[in-house]
Amino acid sequence: MAEKKPKYYLTTPIYYTNGLPHIGHAYSTIVCDTIRRYKRMLGYDVVMTTGTDEHGVNVERSARKAGVPESEFVAKMAAVWRETWDELGIQGDEFIRTTDVKHARTVQWLFRLCRENGYVYKGNYVGQYCIYDNAYVADAGPGDNCPDCGRPTETVTEENYFFKLSAFQNPLLDLYAKHPEFIQPEARRNEVLSFVEGGLRDLSITRTSIRWGIPLPGEESHVFYVWFDALTAYLSAVGGEHYERRGFWPADVHVVGKEIIRFHAVYWPAFLMAAGLPLPKQIWAHGWLLMESSKMSKSRGNVVKPRPIAHVLGMDALRYFLLREVVFGQDGNFSYDALVQRYNSDLANGLGNLASRVLTMIANYCGGVVPNPHEQGKLPERTHASDIATTWRHTLTDINSLYANYRFSGALERTWELIAEVDRFISLKKPWTLAQDATQREYLETILYDWAESIRLIVVLAHPVMPAATEKIWRQLGQNGPLGAQRIDALQWGQLKPGTRIGKPEAVFPRVEKSETIERMEAMEKEASQPAKAPASAAAGATAGATPAAQPTNNKIAIEDFMKVEMRVGQVHTAERVQGADKLLKVNVDIGGEVRQIVAGIAQHYKPEDLVGRKVIVVVNLQPRKLRGVESNGMIVAASVGPEGRPVLAGFLEEVEVGARLK
């Protein structure tokens, strides 16, 4: 029977969809992804949740400004967040959106439990509210600014449901005393302790002044306060009301930025206690990523986006930089200069250079096969192994314990010390001279083995931080199976098998020229900050991938122009995939007495069998054209949805006759 793995559940904060991801957000998420990968390599069954926080006044306003319904606005933004995480190698297991139906159900259920247990009452609220932080500002009067973000607060008067937070002062203090590890690091724990010791006021948890939110069943004029809504996402992602079935709740750790510790370490456990649900085991608050000494944030206008960096230097470079540079729990600085500097010194000249040097030597001196480490006693002098094996034994234990305590920067530093040590030994021993001397053969083979083995250990240890590059070096070392499946805690010196055929040595981190690289990233950053381009053409089919036709300058056409386009109701007779083109379907459509063959770019979203019999809208008077050698005689009309332009076929709610013209 397969071994039952222990479960581990961790979460990132869920991100506001009225903004786009910057590398401060990326930091939170990359940290969690690193923990997730590390825990997997320890044999845990891990679930990591990330997602988007989509309700509230800010979103309502941003959507209005963009002139689109809120649901459309948030769907586009959520897609960008998701894509960005994909590009950074982040393997979220659950992506929860607060607009998901299952989430709304969980929020309503949690409220019901709190109410049934007597912790909710109706009252009147008058106070100052910061719409940017989605928080009421205590002790503030009309016209005061928010003490956190410095922006003006707004006066709010409304009938709300209140949560009896005041009843939880002692239970929370007991929790912190009984579980000193609950809030990390120490500085944040002290901050929360003194806040709670100062007394807790009841908290209003519904709003009647906001429309865009989860409604309270039976009293739809109330929507839930964004933090009551958002925090519950951690629970809805792993089963909500039925959390026991999946067995991932309570969470092992919620990783958050330091400015949202209070919501997580005070409100969240209080809501859960009120509902009688298990509490998360730990809240870990990290520091901020600073840009020129102030917090990187949209409101300060000093943000750097992750995509240009990932595009120019690779996502592993960004991941490595953030985890190496920022000590977890403290603030850290970002600059392009420091990023490229570290890339060149630690990755190009460090790990990348070591791997290609050693692999090239094995290719040149040992026919591309990992040599045998010969017995120490028979060798002319001590090999590196006797020293390095000892060093490794300590290092492996140290690095595992650094990871276990989330000391990523320290773990990487220790690993890179080994890289430097092997580099030093190579320069000292000059293997290229040893290779000229037949009497040194066994010695040469032994030290080459030591170095190859060191690289194997280094890539396993660095894998949680740099998944892609380490996987490449792993293959170049001739290793099979996914690197992520290795047990990091079972790593030992000497497990590399002599006789393994290595792959082709290739540069994993090519050296870059600093100023040119910075210019490229800055140019991409600038371009990405331009106002969004107009949505893509709203048609799928024969025009897929084609450039949109030139528009008249005032963007309007005369009715005669419109009438030139002949659109008819069609019915799909047959549909099949086009060989060798994963986006294209060949569809035969009856357009009323004539069957047309049309090639449509919808194969990734529609199965051929689901189309047969379906009524569609066809542009019938387009010039025929060939796509992948298959003639297309018309175009099927579809909406282009989301930033990725997912096609959604247009259709009719009423019965329509095949062949009818659209006017």
Q: Which one among 9, 10, 14, 37 touches ligand MSP, defined by CB under 6 A?
A: 14
Minimum distance from CB of 288 to ligand MSP (Å)?
A: 4
**Which of 8, 10, 24, 243 touches ligand MSP (CB under 6 A)?**
24
For ligand MSP, the closer CB: 182 or 288: 288
Closer by beta carbon to ligand MSP, 84 or else 486: 84
Which helix (H) or strand (E) segment is 408 a member of? helix 408-429
260 binds ligand MSP (CB under 6 A): yes
The answer to the question of residue 28 lying near ligand MSP (CB under 6 A) is yes
256 binds ligand MSP (CB under 6 A): yes
Note whether 259 binds ligand MSP by CB under 6 A. Answer: yes
Residue 220 one-letter amino acid: E
Closer residue to ligand MSP (CB): 322 or 402: 322
Task: Assess 306 for contact with ligand MSP (CB under 6 A).
Answer: no
Apex 69 CA angle, 68 and 74, nearest 5:
95
Could you tell me where the beta strands, DSSP code E, fall in 179-266? 183-184, 203-204, 206-207, 215-216, 219-224, 253-257
Query: Residue 607 has which token pair?
Result: 């199965």
The pattern of x and - marking residues 131 through 160 that bind ligand MSP according to CB under 6 A reads: ------------------------------
Report in angstroms how near the CB of residue 233 gets to ligand MSP at its nearest: 6
C-alpha closest to that of 346 among 416, 272, 290: 416
Residues 6+ apart with CB under 8 A from 538: 637, 638, 639, 640
How far apart CA 643 and CA 624 sit, in angstroms, is: 28
Which residue from 92, 127, 240, 257 is in contact with ligand MSP, where contact means CB under 6 A? 257
What single DSSP character describes residue 100?
S
> What is the spatial distance between Cα 468 and Cα 470, in angstroms, rounded to a whole number?
6
- Whichever of 257 and 570 has its CB closer to ligand MSP, that residue is 257
Confirm or reject binding of residue 25 to ligand MSP (CB under 6 A): yes
Told to check if 13 binds ligand MSP by CB under 6 A, we report yes
94 binds ligand MSP (CB under 6 A): no
Q: At its nearest, how many Å lie between ligand MSP and the CB of residue 25?
A: 4
Q: How many CA atoms lie within 13 A of 272 on its CB side?
A: 24
Q: Cβ of residue 325: shortest distance to ligand MSP, in angstroms? A: 12
Token digits for 114? 């709190």
Stretch 34-63: interaction string toward ligand MSP, x if CB under 6 A: -------------------x----------
| Under rule CB under 6 A, residue 20 binds ligand MSP | no
Member of 288, 328, 408, 425 binding ligand MSP (CB under 6 A):
288
The whole-angstrom separation of Cα 259 and Cα 546 is 47
Kindly indicate which of the ranges 8-16, 349-357, 543-551, 594-602 contains the residues binding ligand MSP, using the contact rule CB under 6 A.
8-16
Cβ–Cβ under 8 Å, residues 323 and 408 = yes
Q: For residues 386 and 380, is the Cβ–Cβ distance under 8 A?
A: no
> Rounded to whole angstroms, how far apart are CA atoms 149 and 294?
12
Closest CB to ligand MSP among residues 183, 230 = 230
For residue 346, the 8-state DSSP code is: I
* Cis geometry, peptide bond prior to residue 185 (ω within 30 degrees of 0): yes
Are residues 92 and 35 in contact, defined by beta-carbon separation less than 8 angstroms? no
Residues near ligand MSP (CB under 6 A) are 13-16, 24-25, 27-28, 53, 230-231, 233, 256-257, 259-260, 288-289, 295-297
